[in-house]
Amino acid sequence: MMEIRTVGIIGTGTMGLGIAQVCAQSGFNVIAVKATPGSWEKAKASLEGGLNKSVERGKMAAADRDALVGRITFTTDERAVADCDLIIESIIEDLQTKKDLFRRLEAICRPDTLLCTNTSTLSVTAMMAVCKHRSRVAGLHFFNPAPVMKLVEVIHAFETSEEVIETLDQFCKTISKGPVIVQDTTGFIVNRLLTPYMLNAIRMLERGTGTIESIDQAMKTGAAHPMGPFELADYIGLDVVEAMAHNIFEDVRHEHHAPPHTLTRLVQLGYLGRKTGKGFYDYAQKPPVQNP
């Protein structure tokens, strides 16, 4: 198995930061690269803000917080990941942008550096296809919030080597996650099941079966889900849910997977869920927004 000491994270959004935190918490040195224009200070402040809350609530010692933050180097320079043993990209869900990134990473890194994507529904094999050293390309799919959710889907793309899968499986265990190995298919396991579930809840709303609140309450108290489907969609981000629906629909071409009208309208209006303050729920003023 390959040895992993330093992890490069490309993209410092919600998922990238969460993954950086998880890796640093387990003692890995992390290089976190802000992938979009602008400085990295805001990303670092956001990570520190979350950790400060843990310290205030007595969940983490101040010294552990400082050590964790000290293991993460923030930068805007992609070339800083050149010496990393494992790179996990968590940039925008756009295949062409990810392919371009993989091409650049191959030019910077050693031929044995593990190159992983945190994509939700895009083809890992399509990213692998632009690489010369393909056997080191795989998926490492974390769930939001990454510091809390135990699962990581380890995605076995078409030419990923068994040694790489074993190394990633062990890495996930080292960072206290419960990995599941999945073949590279659209949506893997969780998003392939979870996306139609959320789409069905939206169609149920459109049919008038129940309200946003009643459907959420039913699934929380009747199926023991921590969040109802609308709370979950708002939490994931409605643009992300729509993109996942789109990618799965493109693959299976069954209307069951097509994004419902209400979802598309909310995204068009910029109501993307918690991150914009409004989605199915209005986080400034309850009750939930009406079906547009």
The catalytic position among 78, 106, 153, 242 is 153
Tokens 């956001």 -> residue: 46
Burial environment of residue 19 by CB neighbours within 10 A (0 to 12, 13 to 18, 19 or more): buried
Helix (H/G/I), strand (E/B), else coil: 24? helix
- Cβ proximity to ligand 3HC, 57 vs 132, nearer residue: 57
Q: How long a stretch of residues is the chain?
A: 292
* Ranges within 175-214 binding ligand 3HC (CB under 6 A): 191, 194
13 binds ligand 3HC (CB under 6 A): no
Instruction: Please indicate whether residue 247 is annotated as part of the active site.
Output: no
- Cβ proximity to ligand 3HC, 128 vs 244, nearer residue: 244
Instruction: Please indicate whether residue 141 is annotated as part of the active site.
Output: yes
Cis peptide before 287 (omega within 30 of 0): yes
- Cβ proximity to ligand 3HC, 78 vs 216, nearer residue: 216
C-alpha torsion 123→112→18→23, nearest 10: 150
The catalytic position among 120, 242, 247, 257 is 120
CB distance 168 to 155 below 8 Å: no
Task: Tell me the closest approach of the beta carbon of residue 60 to ligand 3HC, in angstroms.
Answer: 9
Of 47, 86, 89, 90, which Cα lies nearest the Cα of 70?
47
Helix (H/G/I), strand (E/B), else coil: 35? coil
147 binds ligand 3HC (CB under 6 A): yes
CB distance 149 to 216 below 8 Å: no
The catalytic position among 118, 123, 191, 247 is 191
With CB under 6 A as the contact rule, which of the stretches 26-34, 171-179, 226-234, 259-267 interacts with ligand 3HC?
226-234
Tokens 């849910």 -> residue: 241
- Cβ proximity to ligand 3HC, 144 vs 276, nearer residue: 144
* Ranges within 19-78 binding ligand 3HC (CB under 6 A): 50, 59
The catalytic position among 93, 141, 156, 257 is 141
- Cβ proximity to ligand 3HC, 172 vs 194, nearer residue: 194
With CB under 6 A as the contact rule, which of the stretches 83-91, 224-232, 256-264, 266-274 interacts with ligand 3HC?
224-232
Q: Applying CB under 6 A, what is the total number of residues that bind ligand 3HC?
A: 16
148 binds ligand 3HC (CB under 6 A): yes
Phi then psi dihedrals of residue 20, to 5 deg:
-60, -45
**Long-range contact pairs involving 242-245 (C-beta distance under 8 Å, separation at least 24):** 242/267, 243/93, 243/120, 243/121, 244/120, 244/121, 244/187, 244/191, 244/195, 245/195, 245/199
Instruction: Please indicate whether residue 153 is annotated as part of the active site.
Output: yes
- Cβ proximity to ligand 3HC, 147 vs 210, nearer residue: 147
Per CB under 6 A, residues contacting ligand 3HC are 50, 59, 120, 143-145, 147-149, 191, 194, 226-227, 232, 236, 240
Catalytic positions: 120, 141, 153, 191
